Amino acid sequence: MEERLNLIETFAEFKDFKNIDRETLMRILIDIFRAVLTKKYGADANFDVIVNVDRGDLEIQRYREIVEDGEVENEFTQIALSDAIKIEPDFEVGEEVMETIRLEDFQRREILALRQNLISKIMEYEKDLIYKKYENRIGELVTGEVTQVWRKEILVADEEGVELVLPKSEQIPADHYKKGDNLSAVVERVEIISSTPRITISRTSPRFLERLMENEIPEVYDGLISIRNVVRSPGERAKVLVESYDDRIDPVGACVGLKGSRIHGIIRELRNENIDIINYTSNPKLLITRALSPAKITSIELDEEAKMANVYMKPDQVSLAIGKGGYNIKLAGKLSGYEIDVFRDDITEEDDVDLQEFNDVFDQWVIDAFKKIGCDTAKSVLKLDRDELIQRTDLEEETVDDVIAAVKEELEIEDEPAATETPAPAAEAPAEPAAEEPATEAGN
């Protein structure tokens, strides 16, 4: 009896708490009971299973044809007349007898199997429902509450309690969440792992920035402004290419808002990530010029087939074009689709030397690494300190030191002596003017 009560409670439990509609629950219940009845009474047996989800119960009606005594060939589909009139005296041969089968008629093992099958089918259905729901939401913005924080990932529950996963690789470097915090992200991918759906969300995806802009900027949401492309270095810098279909709308101004009112909220959500809004153009030279802003460009040479661009600019603009950590030029290249090399256009100093002239000393790939960060002359190499050269070129320390030494040798610049090597007292300094020359040069 206890098992039968548990089965009824199971119906009510799924009716009240599971994310499943009434019609689907009824269909699952009917399928489960029909499978058990078929096993118990045979495939030819005729049953009606009536489920009342609201009350948490069901009714099973069995139908058998009345035949003459001694002519019963299949006891599951036929009943002898003498047995039928015990149920109702007015029955005649050829009529159908309807009997109600109660849960009490099932054995304990059958009840337990029914309950287990019901739980299994419901869970299977819910997993399939979650997968299909989120498979159609890839790229959409979702919000949820942090339920678990681990070293490699964060678990987030959406408004329906569905578990979402935010891996460390999909978090902005400055993200720091604790249990109970709310966060926003986009659905990045949906997978089935060990028969369970895994929904991965992302805060580093370019689509996350797109969705945020749709939420904050009405013109983007309404389609008056189109986002053509988004590139990001999460937490550092992003570039967004926008286009307006209405000549009366300035897409850049509309996205930024009055005094930055629209873009500031997005910047805060992205942990102070710098966002450049760029007006789209089909002219590749103009697009590269806008993408490298705020640097001012003198001229551009394009190789359309190789998708390469040689950009020339004044020396004081090179660092602006490259940007902190090289993010500006990297993102400009991704946005425009060109590999961008920056060159100084004023190699006019008589005592300066083009870095290409060192190709008999260093491999071309070493020289190219320096050129990509704007160091295309000997003096431009010396304008950056050693650590910055190592970081930007991504070359070995020994290689960078060799280039610096070769450049100094070519320009006939001697390394300053260490402080311990010039311990001359102040009183002797006037008597040795030659010793003052390095100090004066360093001061310059």
Residue 242 is inside which H or E element, if any? Answer: strand 237-244
Residue carrying the six token digits 């009510």? 12
User: Per the domain annotation, does 363 fall within a domain?
Assistant: no
- Beta strand extents in 158-214 (DSSP E only): 163-167, 182-193, 196-202
What percent of the chain clears pLDDT 90, i.e. is strictly above it? 43
Same domain for 80 and 176, yes or no, is no
Give residue 350's pLDDT: 58
Mean pLDDT of the region 155-173: 95
Same domain for 122 and 141, yes or no, is no
Same domain for 94 and 71, yes or no, is yes
User: Per the domain annotation, does 295 fall within a domain?
Assistant: no
Condensed to tens digits (0 to 9), the pLDDT of residues 365-414 reads 998 888 888 788 888 888 888 888 888 888 999 999 999 999 888 887 77
Same domain for 98 and 30, yes or no, is yes
Q: Which of 163, 184, 204 is the last residue of a domain?
A: 204
**Residue 423, pLDDT above cutoff 60:** no
Q: How many domains does the chain have?
A: 2
Mean pLDDT of the region 12-40: 71
Averaged confidence pLDDT in the chain: 83
How would residue 7 be classed by pLDDT, with cut points 50, 70 and 90?
low
Same domain for 91 and 161, yes or no, is no
Provide DSSP, 4-53.
HHHHHHHHHHHHHHSS--HHHHHHHHHHHHHHHHHHHH-TT-EEEEEEET
Give residue 285's pLDDT: 94
Q: Which of 163, 178, 204 is the last residue of a domain?
A: 204
User: Per the domain annotation, does 153 fall within a domain?
Assistant: yes
What burial letters (b/e) apply to 205-225, b meaning 16+ CB within 10 Å? bbbbbbbbbbebbebbeeebb
Same domain for 9 and 122, yes or no, is yes
Q: What is the CA radius of gyration of the chain?
A: 38
Same domain for 55 and 93, yes or no, is yes
CA of residue 120 relative to chain centroid, distance = 31
User: Per the domain annotation, does 189 fall within a domain?
Assistant: yes
Mean pLDDT of the region 213-228: 95
Candidates 210, 206, 278, 270; CA nearest to 243 is 278
Residue 312 exposed, middle or buried by CB count within 10 Å (0-12, 13-18, 19+)? middle
**Residue 24, pLDDT above cutoff 80:** no
* 291 vs 297: CA distance, rounded Å: 11
Condensed to tens digits (0 to 9), the pLDDT of residues 272-285 reads 999 999 999 999 99
Same domain for 14 and 121, yes or no, is yes
**Residue 10, pLDDT above cutoff 60:** no
Mean pLDDT of the region 126-154: 94
Q: Which amino acid is at 272?
A: N
* 51 vs 11: CA distance, rounded Å: 10
Give residue 340's pLDDT: 94
* 370 vs 353: CA distance, rounded Å: 14
Condensed to tens digits (0 to 9), the pLDDT of residues 186-206 reads 999 999 998 899 999 999 999
Same domain for 182 and 75, yes or no, is no
Give residue 48's pLDDT: 81
User: Per the domain annotation, does 194 fall within a domain?
Assistant: yes
Same domain for 55 and 12, yes or no, is yes
| Residue 223 or 41, more confident | 223
Same domain for 145 and 111, yes or no, is no
Give residue 378's pLDDT: 84
Mean pLDDT of the region 118-127: 84
**Residue 144, pLDDT above cutoff 80:** yes
Residue 307 is inside which H or E element, if any? Answer: none
* 409 vs 362: CA distance, rounded Å: 14
User: How many alpha carbons lie under 13 Å from residue 378 in its C-beta half-sphere?
Assistant: 20
Residues paired with 241 in a beta bridge:
229, 278
Sign of CA dihedral 365, 371, 377, 380: negative
Q: What CATH number is given to the structural domain containing 182?
A: 2.40.50.140
| Residue 289 or 42, more confident | 289
Looking at residue 315, the DSSP 8-state letter turns out to be H
Condensed to tens digits (0 to 9), the pLDDT of residues 237-258 reads 999 999 998 889 999 999 999 9
CB 327 within 8 A of CB 237: yes
Condensed to tens digits (0 to 9), the pLDDT of residues 47-96 reads 888 776 566 567 788 888 888 888 888 887 888 888 888 888 888 888 88
User: Per the domain annotation, does 222 fall within a domain?
Assistant: no
Give residue 107's pLDDT: 77
Same domain for 8 and 111, yes or no, is yes
Give residue 332's pLDDT: 96
C-alpha to C-alpha distances, 426 to 423, 433, 435, nearest whole angstrom: 9, 12, 11
User: Per the domain annotation, does 43 fall within a domain?
Assistant: yes
**Residue 347, pLDDT above cutoff 70:** no
Residue 138 is inside which H or E element, if any? Answer: none
Q: Which of 74, 104, 126 is the last residue of a domain?
A: 126
Query: Residue 64 is part of which domain span?
Result: 2-126
Candidates 367, 362, 403, 363; CA nearest to 382 is 403
Give residue 14's pLDDT: 58
How would residue 216 be classed by pLDDT, with cut points 50, 70 and 90?
very high
How would residue 8 be classed by pLDDT, with cut points 50, 70 and 90?
low
Mean pLDDT of the region 19-37: 77
Residue 303's contacts (CB-CB under 8 Å, 6 or more residues apart) are 309
Looking at residue 211, the DSSP 8-state letter turns out to be H
Q: What CATH number is given to the structural domain containing 114?
A: 3.30.1480.10
User: Per the domain annotation, does 253 fall within a domain?
Assistant: no
Give residue 333's pLDDT: 95
* 168 vs 202: CA distance, rounded Å: 9
**Residue 22, pLDDT above cutoff 80:** no
